[in-house]
Structure 1
Amino acid sequence: MPSTTRERILDAALELIQERGFGGTTVTGIEELAGLSPGSGSFYRHFRSKEEVFRSVFERELDRARRHREAFERGPVTADPRDALTRRLLQQLDYLARIRPLITLLAREHGRFPELTRTVRSALLDQGIAEEADHLARDLPGAPGHDDPHALLAVVVSALTGYHLSSEFFGRPPAGIDPARFATALAALITGPPQEASRTDG
């Protein structure tokens, strides 16, 4: 379905703000990139100001991020807990890649729009840690750190974010460790060594 003029303006604003920052982005630049006549006033038929379009871009990207989270694998672990956790960690890395525009907006403009930063922190970071901590406590009750799953998830989120940002900044994963290998190693750290019974079977 063809995009609406409003969506084209949002897409153009997102691209330019990521590239130039809020201060370096102009309304005429947004109009031009959106395929509108620069200076024609077409922008103002949809948004009252550059700040309003930024907030609309931000809200759209936050909504997309929430929908990505809703698609995460959920439910009790019925097979190998470590394998299930590895898949979840890979989902988290894919999630970070998908919400890259939102991360870029925050990185560039968190000082100008602190209330938006607080919104993301509450909606994605704090809520995400709480949700994952609940799953960890339920599905992996014997894992190291299970007595403080929120702290453990804070460590996990920091590890995932660091891996993602390092890969983005340097153009390749740290030490060339691909996402599957990274997720497997992190899951092993979280789940701990195999249970004694598993090692002595047979």
Structure 2
Amino acid sequence: MAPSTRARILDAALELIQQVGFTGTTVTAIEERSGLSPGSGSFYRHFRSKEDVFRAALERELERAQQYRREFERGTVEDPQAALARRFLQQLDYMAKIRPLINLLAREHGQFPDLTSRIGGILLDRGIVEEAGHLTHDLRAHVDHADPHALLTVVVSALSGYHLARQFFGHPPAEVTPERFAATLAALITSPRTADPHGTE
């Protein structure tokens, strides 16, 4: 099924803004990229302004990101280390899928601070809370940690760093494959806790 005109405009705006930024993107260029007659005003049958289409593009990418996350593996498991390794591979795949959204936020966060704050809260803050809930509920017998939110913050930072290094340099750090990285991170998390970092034990 061919994408609607609105969807084509959103795709075109997303591509252009990633390439030349919000300021450098014109309505005429969006029309041309989306297969509409440049300068015809067809754009305005679907969006009121360039800012309107940018916000709509971000909202669409946010919804896609949330849908990807809803597909993550959930539930209790028999082999927690293997389950976590699979989950971390899902997370890395998720980061690759939401790259357009991250690119937009990185490039234009100063232009739209309200959107950046809301999307960051949903993707990062809420994501950490959800994943911490998964650890403490589904894996509580296997992952013993005094501060699951801090643990997940470390995990997300490790996953993000690995993903960014792979994207930036074009290959995995030290040629460690995603499978090796995920398995090692899972092994670290499921290892017995030797000390309480807060000194409360």
| TM-score (normalizing by structure 2) | 0.92
1:45 matched to which residue of 2? 45
Take 1:4 and 1:155, find their aligned partners in 2: how far apart are those partners? 41
1:57 and 2:57 aligned = yes
**Is the CA contact 2:61–2:101 (under 8 Å) kept in the aligned structure 1?**
yes
Take 2:31 and 2:109, find their aligned partners in 1: how far apart are those partners? 25
Q: Cα deviations across residues 46-80 of structure 1 (Å, max 9, x unaligned)?
A: 11110000000000000000100111100011x21
Take 2:122 and 2:41, find their aligned partners in 1: how far apart are those partners? 35
Take 2:144 and 2:53, find their aligned partners in 1: how far apart are those partners? 43
**Is the CA contact 1:145–1:152 (under 8 Å) kept in the aligned structure 2?**
no
2:86 matched to which residue of 1? 87
2:28 matched to which residue of 1? 28
Q: Is the partner of 1:186 in helix, strand or coil? A: helix
**Is the CA contact 1:61–1:102 (under 8 Å) kept in the aligned structure 2?**
yes
2:199 matched to which residue of 1? none
Structure 2: 5+ residue stretches without partners:
194-201
Q: Given residue 94 of structure 2, which amino acid in structure 1 is its aligned partner?
A: Y
Take 2:94 and 2:125, find their aligned partners in 1: how far apart are those partners? 16
1:111 and 2:83 aligned = no
1:159 and 2:164 aligned = no
Q: Given residue 11 of structure 1, which amino acid in structure 2 is its aligned partner?
A: D
Take 2:190 and 2:162, find their aligned partners in 1: how far apart are those partners? 19
Please report the RMSD computed on the Cα atoms of aligned residues, expressed in angstroms.
1.4
Residues 145/113 of structure 1: CA separation in 2 closer, same or farther (3 Å cut)? farther
2:145 matched to which residue of 1? 146
| TM-score (normalizing by structure 1) | 0.92
Take 2:26 and 2:110, find their aligned partners in 1: how far apart are those partners? 19
**Is the CA contact 2:27–2:50 (under 8 Å) kept in the aligned structure 1?**
yes
Would you say how many aligned residue pairs link Structure 1 and Structure 2? 193
Question: Moved runs in structure 1, 4+ residues, more than 4 A?
Answer: 142-145
Q: Given residue 190 of structure 2, which amino acid in structure 1 is its aligned partner?
A: T
Q: Is the partner of 2:145 in helix, strand or coil? A: coil
Identity %: 68
Take 1:81 and 1:186, find their aligned partners in 2: how far apart are those partners? 12
Q: Given residue 73 of structure 2, which amino acid in structure 1 is its aligned partner?
A: E
Structure 1: 5+ residue stretches without partners:
195-202
**Is the CA contact 1:72–1:91 (under 8 Å) kept in the aligned structure 2?**
yes
Take 2:138 and 2:122, find their aligned partners in 1: how far apart are those partners? 23
Take 1:141 and 1:14, find their aligned partners in 2: how far apart are those partners? 41
Take 1:33 and 1:190, find their aligned partners in 2: how far apart are those partners? 47
